[in-house]
């Protein structure tokens, strides 16, 4: 057997859940359960569900397979504990490597041969959705969804393989969802989007949690000992997509004009060491704070003065929505969809221009009124509390009208 359940629950708990046939179970397919954008948005939605009515489960991927004993050797990830506490199950498939196509397909087939309890399989990992969604459907799953969460792929062979595997994905799912028009076009094609066959569902957040609060801002800035600093912030995984080297150059240019400038980087990832070295080379290491992943990032948003996101591509970045909810002036690359602009706080800039141009624009807008933006976020459809009701209707009866 090529798949395993990563965190077996107590026998009595499983026995109890099996008797609760009235609960609708939804399976979300992801790369993992770490602190990523898609994962965070799904967890925001999960927390809003009445779990006596709708329950989420997760099918993730890992290289850590023990084929001999079929045991769980995958290391726990950021959201694992919370998922289990809320009654969700986590299942694991082998990581797809192209060359293991047949083994991967066999593992998926075996999984759905065993698990018939899901009403909906929602695939957020679109690189292999053309494999697992048709197999889920064939196994009797009533509803399959391909959900595009990004508007670009990595460069090189991996990106080419992803594009090839996504070809005709729109034909292999009952529903096509996307977090933005750009993300929909990238995965399903412009024609399919223009025909109205892709449901655009913006990444919603728990906006109330991020709402600007002057007292909280003062408290966190005092705790971090940055009361008298000009604080720039960024939240994102350390990988090529986020364009951290350019961000460091922008910050270095700002430091030439503002001695009180500091930069906080929330997140982790494979390129973190390279970025730390880049800071050393630019002479700004003592002004850059690498915080790692944070369980309560909303506190840091309060502490920031401005937010930066010079990504090469995004779907619809939840972190940008969070920053606006916190009332922050945001400076982002013009490759990011305008659909993420819920307020007038967002300034789009080209990453093709010298970093000093970004620095000049940021400093020219450094003074502004910070205020509560909850109503604007909610009116724009970015509050997960209202979006959750739309998903509830869809999960229970396939009604998309509320999404």
What is the DSSP track for 368-395? ------HHHHHHTT-BHHHHHHHHHHHH
Weakest-pLDDT range from 10-24, 228-242, 312-326: 10-24
Weakest-pLDDT range from 3-7, 119-123, 343-347: 3-7
Would you state the pLDDT for residue 157? 73
- If one compares 149 and 151, the residue with the highest pLDDT of the two is 149
Would you state the pLDDT for residue 249? 98
Q: How confident is the model at residue 395 (pLDDT cuts 50, 70, 90)?
A: very high
Q: How far apart are CA 52 and CA 221, in angstroms?
A: 40
What CA–CA distances, in Å, run from 108 to 103, 115, 203?
A: 9, 10, 28
**% of the chain residues with pLDDT over 90:** 83
String of DSSP letters for 54-75:
EEEEEEEEES-EETTTTEE-PP
For the cut 70, the answer to whether the pLDDT of residue 109 exceeds it is yes
Q: What is the pTM of this model?
A: 0.86
pLDDT average, residue stretch 85-89? 97
Contact between 111 and 59 (Cβ < 8 Å): yes
Would you state the pLDDT for residue 152? 75
Give 29-68 pLDDT, tens digit per residue. 999 999 988 999 999 999 999 999 999 999 999 986 544 3
Q: How confident is the model at residue 155 (pLDDT cuts 50, 70, 90)?
A: confident
């Amino acid at each position: 057997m090529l798949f395993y359940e990563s965190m077996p629950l107590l026998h009595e708990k499983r026995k109890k859940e099996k008797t609760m046939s009235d609960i609708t179970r939804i399976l979300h397919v992801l790369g993992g359960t770490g602190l990523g954008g898609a994962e965070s948005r799904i967890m925001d939605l999960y927390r809003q569900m009445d779990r006596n009515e709708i329950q989420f489960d997760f099918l993730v991927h890992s290289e850590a397979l023990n084929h001999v004993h079929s045991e769980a050797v995958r290391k726990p990830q950021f959201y694992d504990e919370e998922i289990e506490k809320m009654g969700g199950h986590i299942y694991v498939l082998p990581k797809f490597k192209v060359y293991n196509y047949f083994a991967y397909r066999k593992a998926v087939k075996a999984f759905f041969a065993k698990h018939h309890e899901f009403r909906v399989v929602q695939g957020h990992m679109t690189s292999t959705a053309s494999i697992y969604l048709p197999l889920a459907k064939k196994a009797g799953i009533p509803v399959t969804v391909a959900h595009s969460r990004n508007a670009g792929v990595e460069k090189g062979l991996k990106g080419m393989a992803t594009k090839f595997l996504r070809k005709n994905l729109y034909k292999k799912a009952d529903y096509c969802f996307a977090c933005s028009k750009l993300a929909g076009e990238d995965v399903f094609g412009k024609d399919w989007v223009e025909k109205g066959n892709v449901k655009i569902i913006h990444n919603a957040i728990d906006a109330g949690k991020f709402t600007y609060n002057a007292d909280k801002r003062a408290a966190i800035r005092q705790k971090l000992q940055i009361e008298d600093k000009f604080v720039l912030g960024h939240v994102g995984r350390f990988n090529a997509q986020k364009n951290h080297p350019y961000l460091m150059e922008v910050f270095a240019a700002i430091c030439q004009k503002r001695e009180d400038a500091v930069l906080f980087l929330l997140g982790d990832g494979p390129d973190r060491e390279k970025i730390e070295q880049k800071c050393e080379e630019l002479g700004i290491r003592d002004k850059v704070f690498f915080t790692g992943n944070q369980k309560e990032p909303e506190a840091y948003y309060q502490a920031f003065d401005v937010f930066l996101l010079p990504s090469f591509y995004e779907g619809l970045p939840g972190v940008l929505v969070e920053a606006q909810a916190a009332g922050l002036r945001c400076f982002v690359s013009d490759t990011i969809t305008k659909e993420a602009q819920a307020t007038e706080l967002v300034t789009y800039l080209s990453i093709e221009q010298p970093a000093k141009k970004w620095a000049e624009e940021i400093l020219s807008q450094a003074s502004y009124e910070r205020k509560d933006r909850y109503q604007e976020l909610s009116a724009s459809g970015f509050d997960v509390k209202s979006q959750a009701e739309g998903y509830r209707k869809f999960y229970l009866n396939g009604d998309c009208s509320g999404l």
